[in-house]
């Protein structure tokens, strides 16, 4: 695996852990984190991004980190990276430019 991919994997898991900590310390709720991540995903996958000539696969690639963090946020306990990536793949839905 590419070293950059491993670094991104580590960073995502670190952010997921920080998010869990924020929830456990009652600084933010899961719902507040979900709302922030949903807004970020909408900004990345929205119609404005379509004019940048990104393919649907590239838009999915850009949205993947947010989707993974949303999947991690939806769980009570920490999950392994592989389990979270499977969850993202199952739940991502259709490309936003396809009916």
Domain tally for the chain?
A: 1
Phi, psi of 24 (to 5 degrees): -60, -35
Residues 1-20 as b or e (16 or more Cβ within 10 Å = b): eeeeeeeebeebbeebeebb
The pTM of the full predicted model, rounded to 2 decimals, is: 0.84
pLDDT tens digits, residue range 4-61?
A: 788 999 999 999 999 999 999 999 999 999 999 999 999 888 766 655 677 888 888 8
Q: What pLDDT is attached to residue 28?
A: 98
| Residue 81, domain member (yes or no) | yes
Q: What pLDDT is attached to residue 51?
A: 56
| Residue 98, domain member (yes or no) | no
Q: What pLDDT is attached to residue 92?
A: 79
Give the domain extent around 21: 3-91
| Residue 96, domain member (yes or no) | no
What is the Cα–Cα distance from 56 to 35, expressed in whole angstroms? Answer: 23
The CA-based angle 92-41-30, given to 5 degrees, is 90
| Residue 97, domain member (yes or no) | no
Q: What pLDDT is attached to residue 53?
A: 75
| Residue 10, domain member (yes or no) | yes
Q: What pLDDT is attached to residue 18?
A: 97
| Residue 9, domain member (yes or no) | yes
């Amino acid at each position: 695996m590419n070293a950059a991919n491993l670094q991104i994997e580590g960073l995502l898991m670190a952010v997921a852990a920080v998010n869990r900590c924020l929830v456990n310390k009652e600084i933010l709720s899961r719902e507040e984190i979900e709302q922030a991540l949903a807004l970020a995903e909408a900004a990345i996958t929205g119609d404005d991004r379509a004019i940048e000539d990104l393919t649907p696969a590239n838009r999915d690639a850009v949205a993947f980190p947010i989707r993974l963090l949303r999947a991690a946020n939806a769980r009570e306990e920490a999950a392994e990276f592989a389990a979270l990536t499977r969850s993202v793949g199952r739940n991502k839905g259709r490309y936003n430019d396809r009916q």
